[in-house]
Amino acid sequence: MHRSALIMWSDEDIEAMRAALLEWYDREGRTLPWRVRPEDRAKGAKPDPYAIWLSEIMLQQTTVPHGTPYWHKFLRLYPTVDDLAAAPLDDVLIHWAGLGYYARARNLHKCAKIVVANHGGRFPRTKAELIQLPGIGDYTASTIAAICFDEPTTIVDGNVERVMARLHRVEAPLPKAKPELKRLATVLSDPDRPGDYGQAVMDLGATVCTPRSPSCLLCPWKDWCRAYEAGDQTDYPKKTPKKAKPVRHGQAFVMLKDGAVWLRRRVEEGLLGGMMEVPTTDWIASETAFDPPIAADWVRTAAPVRHVFTHFELRLDVHVAHVKSDPPGEGRWVATDALGQEALPSLFKKVLRAADL
């Protein structure tokens, strides 16, 4: 039996823990550009659901320091959800470049269109409605509903999972432990200040209960924390050992003509869907045969381009040639000095750099 199954907080403990955390948050919580702090909320300031939604989607796979400039840029370019919905998808993808996981950008654009078309440009007010929108899962729906509309939801991100795992010394490893950690988090969620509580426990994990060097003496929950009591905080959360990423191989073909490079669009569905690319062979587990799209004097670059995706590592051999005619299939010539205006993912920026473009 997991140790956490034996821990039952009393009602008095739960109230004391909520109060201690919120008192800490009122004093120590992070100031973020999209956040309405407690003192401002008390004066009547309201969080902007559009700004909160943008921040949550952008920060799903990156850090606050990296994501914040993108958040500012998107609000400058698209001040409202109506502006974002009206923008061409290619423009959104170009401005998203650098955040990765481009399916999020496509869903961001699709979600904006639905909010405008079906909800009059206003985000739904409940988790149940929010979770029906593209790109909004349980965590994001819970976060928007709690922060913007005071729905008593339970917000659980990686920071919250770490806090709960240490509080209870949960022995089950991630990701298997996720349902248990959410149940434990639900017990503590504050129904009276759900938005502030949710942001508080995330801040606790981000700034105090950190992965490698937790500042336990500063923690408002140290008196209840089983891992702190045992002195083995950094042993939690337990994690399933990662498997080595499989390697896939392919060939990329950079075709040049009259100061332009041939680009084509990837299919909408799947990895890097809807983005621009130079032609490649299929990406497979074994070394691929040299199979260029057009006959030419091909020159292979010195080393393959390596790029790590979530589930595999890709190695592309890059070949460059000057051609006299268009290759088969759909695509277009793009001037080399205009490549920055294209929706090119990081992988193909690496390919073009390998070709000295």
Q: Name the residues annotated as catalytic.
A: 56
Q: Specify whether the CB–CB gap between 37 and 201 falls below 8 A.
A: no
Q: Specify whether the CB–CB gap between 193 and 41 falls below 8 A.
A: no
Tell me which H or E stretch contains 149: helix 138-149
Q: Specify whether the CB–CB gap between 147 and 198 falls below 8 A.
A: yes
Q: Using CA atoms, how far apart are residues 231 and 248, in angstroms rounded to an integer?
A: 43
> Could you give the 3-state DSSP secondary structure of residue 156?
coil
Pairing verdict, β 260-265 and 305-308: unpaired
Number of Cβ within a 10 Å radius of residue 39: 9
Residue 215 tokens, joined: 């500042």
String of b and e for 85-118 (b: at least 16 CB within 10 Å)?
A: bebebbebbbbbbebbbbbbbbbbbebbbebbee
Measured over the CA atoms of residue 204, residue 66, residue 345 and residue 88, the dihedral's sign is positive
Angle at 219 between CA 218 and CA 220, to 5 degrees: 120
Q: Specify whether the CB–CB gap between 205 and 159 falls below 8 A.
A: yes
